[in-house]
Amino acid sequence: MTDTKTPLLDRIDLPSDLRALPEGSLRQVADELRAEMIDAVSVTGGHLGAGLGVVELTVALHYVFNTPDDRVIWDVGHQAYPHKILTGRRGRIRTLRQGGGLSGFTKRKESDYDPFGAGHSSTSISAGLGMAVARDLAGKKNNVIAVIGDGSMSAGMAYEAMNNAGAMHSRLVVILNDNDMSIAPPTGAMSAYLARLASGRAYLKLRDYGKQMAAHLPKRFDRAISRAVEHARGYVTGGTLFEELGFYYVGPIDGHNLDHLLPVLKNVRDADVGGPVLVHVVTQKGKGYGPAEASADKYHGVATFDVVTGAQAKPKSNAPSYTRVFGEALTEEARHDDKIVAITAAMPSGTGVDIFGKAFPERTFDVGIAEQHAVTFAAGLATEGYKPFCAIYSTFLQRGYDQLVHDVALQGLPVRFPIDRAGLVGADGATHAGAFDLAYLCCLPDMVVMAAGDEAELVHMVATAAAYDEGPSAFRYPRGDGVGVEMPTRGSVLEIGKGRMMREGTRAAILSLGTRLSDSLKAAEILETYGVSTSVADARFAKPIDRDLLFRLARAHEILITVEEGSIGGFGAQVFQALSEEGLLDGVGRHPLKVRAMVLPDVYMDHDKPEKMYAQAGLDAKGIVAKVLEAMGRGEDAARAMIA
């Protein structure tokens, strides 16, 4: 007989198997589940801390509720790994975030146990309410449970959803997973309020006393005792915000104590309170794994690591990360300009704002998960003569797009938008891929949009944004490390709307925007071996476009290729518009111009290593070579170039 470290977990393929076990065995199941998750993530890397914090909660939810008929919605999805292990995906858990493997987030196409896709925060209550109302309309009786973290509660959408839910009579269970963390320690009044609720020991003792009484009395007395406890609680702590919003509030309870979780969830499942219920569960991010508990970020996101020591296998690079380059460049500019301030929406380390914050804490503002507020807050600062750098990931900035248009761009306010995670991001997949910012920014009048070709260019763009006061500006850069170019001590201010020539040729021209520049230069070298003399230019600006440079390239070459790490409708669209206005697409001249735009495919690309994703998208050196040869009518050479 094979010895196993997870004898109970080995018996569980689906939650129905879990529900067949005696309640007394669930503590062991939780311990085995935590060990399995740690071992799996040590191999794959990923979001560890959040999952460690909800192991017991995950076990309890799938034990008490009849999933998948009962819907469990995980907000964000960082914490969903234990859920995936218990819902038929344990055999694939070591493919997590790998090419062709499991998503790092919940995904509807992946499992019936994932009723709603995640990746971004604060959506679960809205989605859950929609499911609950749909259930009521259909005359069904299943439960809907939305799990949301305290960090996600700072987003306006969560309040909008609670406001709506509280005014309705649909049965919806909201589990507030209060771990006092998002990615960084949370900020703001809501965080402080939850901390006060969770630390109200008089209330906890009173609640425990009520529970003890109920355990020794007939069930018919339970509701009366419950009411008495609630009445007494009001005198101890006052009513809660959630009750004022129309929720029946239960808690706070220890999210790692199954003896507390199970009876509370059963009571919530069986009770008819005539509306939504909020269960306040206090957990610890990183729970049960020493290195995670001791880490400042609780191992929020980790590379592969040694299970025994917790040491992460982070590959060393000869070049700094773009994120670090931005943080250091902004800090340097701020030493010369006391009007520069930095804003982040719960992502200080992810955006590099933490570097700025160490040097200028009084000029650093973390507004929590609140991108809409972050943008308009920055607009307000700009009206008073300050120079706000509002650092938000490309996909997260989508949440503040209305504010960017109406509160910033329309008013011509000089808010600077450093946009990290531009282009494909690898293991986080489609939910975090910065595919659309060029399209949604370049359509705005008077918006200056830059994209760094390398890490030195990023330093110059930080300086350019700091100096540009005529209106809003943005500069985008990718996740990961630079290419190893020589770095300036401080950036130089670039001329707005002017690119640079990198290589002179005669037949084909590659106009690159962003960090596809290195692949464009490689492609030019390869094209020379095919007898195609190739120019390469770095556009630098997606808007305003360098029309002089563009028209010179168009008139002097047979082929013009644009390359960008963005969707249809971005830089390439700007180029085509400018060429059409100049009449350069009319097919006149000795060599009528052939133009091709290379963009990300018009699909949501699944996760993989970034270099593989760019190759799949045709945006690597081979893909650029093939595109030029195809445009020249050399299809066989193009095919050979792709397999070379």
Active site residues per annotation: 285, 371, 399
User: Do residues 410 and 445 lie in contact, with contact meaning Cβ atoms separated by under 8 Å?
Assistant: no
From its phi and psi, is residue 219 left (phi > 0), alpha (psi between -120 and 50) or beta? alpha
Distance (Å) of CA 118 to CA 127, 504, 518 = 11, 46, 34
Paired strand residues for 344: 366, 391
637's tokens: 């050479």
Q: What is the C-alpha separation between 492 and 546, in angstroms, rounded?
A: 18
Contacts of 494 (CB under 8 A, 6+ apart): 450, 460, 461, 463, 464, 540
Nearest to 631 by CA among 523, 471, 515: 523
Angle between helices 322-336 and 455-467 (to 10 degrees): 30
Query: Tokens representing 463?
Result: 């300086």
CA 406 vs. chain centroid, Å, equals 24
Whole-number Å distance between alpha carbons of 279 and 211: 16
Q: Nearest-CA neighbor of 129 among 167, 156, 87?
A: 167
Residues in the chain: 644
* Cis check: omega of the bond before 601, within 30 degrees of 0: no
348 exposure class (CB count in 10 Å sphere: 0-12, 13-18, 19+): buried
CB 12 within 8 A of CB 67: no
* Strand intervals (E) in 452-494: 473-476
Only one residue has tokens 């093939």, namely 626
CA pair distance 454, 476, nearest whole angstrom: 11
